[in-house]
Structure 1
Amino acid sequence: MRVLILGSGVIGVASAYQLALAGHEVTVVDRQAGPGLETSFANAGEVSPGYSAPWAGPGVPVKAIKWLLMQHRPLVIRPHLDMGLIRWGLSMLRNCTTARYELNKSRMVRLAEYSRDCLRELREQTGIRYDERMQGTLQLFRTQKQLDGTAADIAILRRYGVRFEVLDPAGCIKHEPALASVREKFVGGLLLPGDETGDCFQFTQRLAALAQERGVQFRHQVTLRRLLSDGTQLTGVETDQGTLQADAYLVAMGSYSPLALREIGIRIPVYPVKGYSITVPITDARGAPESTVMDETHKVAVTRLGDRIRAGGTAELAGYTLQLHDSRRRTLEHVVTDLFPQGGDVSKATFWCGLRPMTPDGTPVVGGTRLKKLFIATGHGTLGWTMAAGTGCVMADLIGGREPEIDMDGLTVERYPHAYG
């Protein structure tokens, strides 16, 4: 079967590799000059199935107001007239109930846990390396209220068999020794030992090379103009280099997926939520994190990637702009220097931003559509790296006509009642 994939981020490349492994003829098209050059380029580095949770949850509207007033705030809204943002925000508010939070988290954990297993299998099969570490995620709480508020998440982790440990300050320091110098800044933590870390860009580039060895063709610097449909099936893809046709099409364009899909009558509630990161050279390995520390107050993850520290986080609602704001850099620098003051030289940090494709319920949109031949894999939000390997396996199964290894209920576009029309 000839398969055309739109997008060469980590989701598109993981899908391409698995499809090629299954014997399909695969072509990947992207506007960039190479794989992984947009949202996959400099994310926080977490492969965090245990930390998979929707942003929409009980108490979040009140928390959001507090976040907006913080000096180093994790949430920023840039004033602009955007009906898409208004609709997305209202839908997110409707998901801020206990029942919907638990349902959405259960869907996310299902795919994320499967994806971690797929990533391990892929690593064993190929020997792929990407500055990976297998030492878990430490969710660090600066206040007792944060620590006490983990009960709902812990209940879901138990339900799905996700390993965790609640740690006192001494336990946090045992897991992350560099925190000993800032002992007074936190009250405890939640350790998710099954989580991993790694450089998503390295992974995407190296997996793309492995995919090429299996016959995948990558066509870069090709701009999509529009999807072509006869109302019942996708018939082709019009680009600036001609019309491309295949037996199946996968839209994996991250935040840009809804822009292409709405032209053929498919409306998915995916909105670009800008995230920022800095990459800091390590100056003292003993003062750097061993794995990932998630600062629960600032919603910033600080991760060890080889000889670098990657700090990533914040959520900025500003549409499709990629403008870098120094205030966001200062927040990331604050978290790194506050928790790991001896670890790295922030004056030499590189600064980056990317657009995360977020759904209002947190769960990605993965699967087929009512249009024959058309498949979607987007909306992974902050968890694209976490869910990439599993999404690739799921898409290869679905496109190849096989039953996926996980239950697809609640993961497809069909969960949105107004997706078509």
Structure 2
Amino acid sequence: MNVIVLGAGVVGTASAWYLADAGHDVTVIERRSGAARETSFANGCQISVSHAEPWATPAGLLKVVQSLGRADAPLLFRLQADPLQWRWCLQFVRECAPGRVAANLRRIVAMAEYSRRSLQALRARTGIEYDSLTRGILHFYTDAREFERACHAAAAMRDLGCPRMTVDADEAVRIEPALATVRRKLVGADFTATDESGDVHRFTTQLAARGAAAGIRFTYNTTVTRLLAEGGRIRGVEIIDADGRHRVLYADAVVVALGSFSVGLLAPLGIRLLIYPGKGYSATYPILDPDAAPTVSLTDDGHKLVFSRLGDRLRVAGTCELNGYTRDLNPVRCDAITRRVRALFPDACDYANPTYWAGLRPLTPSNVPYIGRTRFANLYLNTGHGTLGWTMGCGSGRAIADIVSGRRPDVDFAFTGGFQA
């Protein structure tokens, strides 16, 4: 089949790769000048199956309430006269019910684990290099109550087959010696040796290059203006190309992988996705002292920050701002990140020259992405991955390729359109 994929982030590029690998003729439409130029550009770079948990939990709801009014809070919520934001919030509250939390957790972990295996196989097959480290992820705590809750969460993850092990503060420092400077503040940690990290931008651009060499057409600097529907199918994709011309492209199937921007494109078709943009920040620091900088990927629970070593750079990302589609940098939040990193690793990096960035994570209330069919026979979704686009990217791309090809995916996940494993 002739398949058009909309979006060249990690999710869209992986979808295109697996679709082409399945024998389809694939075209990717991307409004930026290259792959991975938006949400996949400078995120936290963790492949984090061990903490692929829904935000919508009773404890998560309490944190939202506690963060209201704090400009430097890890979660900043700015209420707007936006019906989508209100609907999203109401559904978020519903998803906090214990039964829904358990179901969402199972689905997220299943897709995340499947995706990690898919990434590992793809890496072995292609030889793509992207500053990947397979030293695990260490999640450390400085609050005793949070650590106690984490111990229960770790047990639940182990029940799902994820080897997330609870360790004391001394063991945490043994795993990552760079934490020695803050040993007295640590109350414990959990560690998953099977988790990974790596530069998602490097991975995606290289996968796109290999895909292009294998025959995938990447059409950059091109904006999708609407989908043309007729008789229960999508008959064409209307675009504005790099020369400013309006054109219509035709295909047998269309996959929407536009992250937060999927909502506006699909709404005129009556497909109302509950995806709201969560602006996440990152800071990238040149490393001055390699021995003082962490090599194990870290998560700082108290400040909701993740740390990934990318060669001679340290990427630190986190926080979330529910404030519409703006990507403006908030200096208060940028400064808060640098203060925390400097406090943890004072001699590791050049803190005078950070590179700050913000991207819009496509958040669903449940953290479960939309993957699968729509009510239009040839229109498919692969969007709404939130903070887990890198973690789930290869697996969801592989799964949507199976679904488009009429095959049943190998992962136990609640696909849209009723296609279950």
Q: Shared fold (TM-score greater than 0.5)? A: yes
1:350 to 351, 355, 368: 355
Give the equivalent residue in structure 1 for 2:215: 215
Conservation of the 8 A alpha-carbon contact between 1:114 and 1:390: yes
* Mapped pair 1:364 → 2:401: no
What amino acid is aligned across from residue 18 of structure 1 in structure 2? Y
Classify 1:72/1:174 alpha carbon distance in 2 versus 1 (closer, same or farther; 3 Å). farther
| CA root-mean-square deviation | 1.4
Contact (CA 8 Å) 1:130, 1:200: kept in 2 or not?
yes
Q: Find the counterpart in structure 1 of residue 92 from structure 2.
A: 92
Equivalent in the alignment of 1:313: 318
Q: Where does residue 412 of structure 1 map in the other structure? A: 416
Give me the whole-angstrom Cα distance separating, in 2, the residues matched to 1:71 and 1:151.
Answer: 30
Deviation at 1:328, TM superposition (A): 1.1
Mapped pair 1:266 → 2:271: yes
Moved more, 232-241 or 133-142: 232-241
Does residue 114 of the first structure (1) align with residue 79 of the second (2)?
Answer: no
The answer to whether the Cα contact below 8 Å between 1:61 and 1:93 also exists between their aligned partners in 2 is yes
- 1:137-176 equivalences under 5 Å are 137-176=137-176
Q: How many residues align?
A: 414
Residue 71 of structure 1 deviates from its aligned partner by 6.9
Aligned match of 2:250 in 230, 245, 248? 245
1:4 touches 1:248 (CA, 8 Å); kept in 2? yes
Summarize deviations over 1:210-250 as a string: whole Å, max 9, x none: 10111000001111110111251111111124001101100
Displacement, 1:69? 5.5
Letter in 2 for 1:19: L
1:387-408 superposed Cα distances (whole Å, 9 cap, x missing partner): 0010111011111111111123
User: How far apart are the structure 2 equivalents of 1:298 and 1:98?
Assistant: 25
Distance 1:126 1:225 in 2: 34
Kept after mapping to 1: 8 A contact 2:71/2:333: no
Q: Give, in whole Å, the separation in 1 of the partners of 2:274 and 2:163.
A: 32
Asked if structure 2 preserves the Cα contact closer than 8 Å seen for 1:2 and 1:247, the reply is yes
Q: Distance in 1 between matches of 2:146 and 2:282?
A: 24
1:197 alignment partner in structure 2: 197
Q: Over residues 276-305 of structure 1, what are the superposed CA-to-partner deviations in whole Å (9 max), with x where a residue is unaligned?
A: 000000011111111211111111111111
Q: Summarize deviations over 1:82-103 as a string: whole Å, max 9, x none.
A: 1211110111011112221111
Distance 1:14 1:90 in 2: 32
The one-letter code of the counterpart of 1:36 is: A
CA displacement at 1:156 relative to structure 2 = 2.6
Separation of aligned partners in 2, 1:151 and 1:189:
9
From 401, 413, 420, the equivalent of 2:406 is 401
Which position in structure 2 is the counterpart of 1:29?
29
Cα distance in 1 for residues equivalent to 2:218 and 2:3: 12
2: CA distance, partners of 1:414 / 1:344: 49
Give the Cα separation in 2 of the matches to 1:174 and 1:307: 22
Task: Give the SS at the match of 1:234.
Answer: strand
Corresponding residue number in structure 2 for 1:303: 308
Q: Which residue of 1 aligns with 2:243?
A: none
Give the TM-score, by structure 2 length: 0.96
Counterpart of 2:13?
Answer: 13
Query: Are the aligned partners of 1:138 and 1:294 in contact in 2 as well (CA < 8 Å)?
Result: yes
In structure 2, distance between residues paired with 1:72 and 1:166: 29
Cα deviation for residue 413 of structure 1 reads: 6.1
Q: Secondary structure at 2:380's aligned position in 1?
A: strand
Alignment partners' CA distance in 1, 2:55 and 2:138: 18
| Rounded Cα–Cα distance in structure 2 between residues aligned with 1:291 and 1:173 | 11
* More off after superposition, 62-71 vs 224-233: 62-71
After TM superposition, give the deviation of residue 20 of structure 1 in Å. 1.2
Q: Secondary structure at the match of 2:265?
A: helix
Aligned to 2:183: 183
Q: Which residue of 1 aligns with 2:80?
A: 80
- Segments of 5+ residues of structure 2 without an aligned counterpart are 241-245
Partners of 2:151 and 2:166 within 8 A in 1: no
Amino acid paired to 1:33: S
CA apart distance, 1:175: 0.8
Match for residue 340 of structure 1?
345
Partner of 1:381: 386
Higher alpha-carbon deviation: 63-72 or 90-99: 63-72
Deviations 1:49-75 (CA, angstroms, capped at 9, x unpaired): 111011100222222222335574101
**Alpha-carbon contact 2:284-2:355 (below 8 Å) kept:** yes
**Which stretch of the first structure deviates more once superposed, 49-58 or 224-233?**
224-233
Partners of 1:321 and 1:232 lie apart in 2 by 34
Amino acid at match of 1:412: T
Q: Deviations over 1:119-171 (max 9, x none)?
A: 00001101111000001111111111111102442233122211122111111
Query: In structure 2, what is the Cα distance between the partners aligned to 1:413 and 1:36?
Result: 28
Q: Distance in 2 between matches of 1:80 and 1:162?
A: 38
- CA–CA distance in structure 2, aligned partners of residues 220 and 169 of structure 1: 48
Q: Measured at CA, do residues 77 and 71 of structure 1 come closer, stay the same or move farther in structure 2, by a change above 3 Å?
A: closer
Q: Identity, % of aligned pairs?
A: 42
- Mapped to 1, the partners of 2:137 and 2:157 lie a distance apart of 14
Change (3 A) 1:312 1:413: farther
CA distance in 1, matches of 2:249, 2:23: 20
Amino acid at match of 2:324: G
Instruction: Give the superposition deviation at 1:334.
Output: 2.0
Report the TM-score when normalising by structure 1: 0.96
Deviation at 1:414, TM superposition (A): 6.2
1:324 matched to 2:329? The reply is yes
Moved more, 22-31 or 334-343: 334-343
Counterpart-to-counterpart distance in 1, 2:38 and 2:284: 16
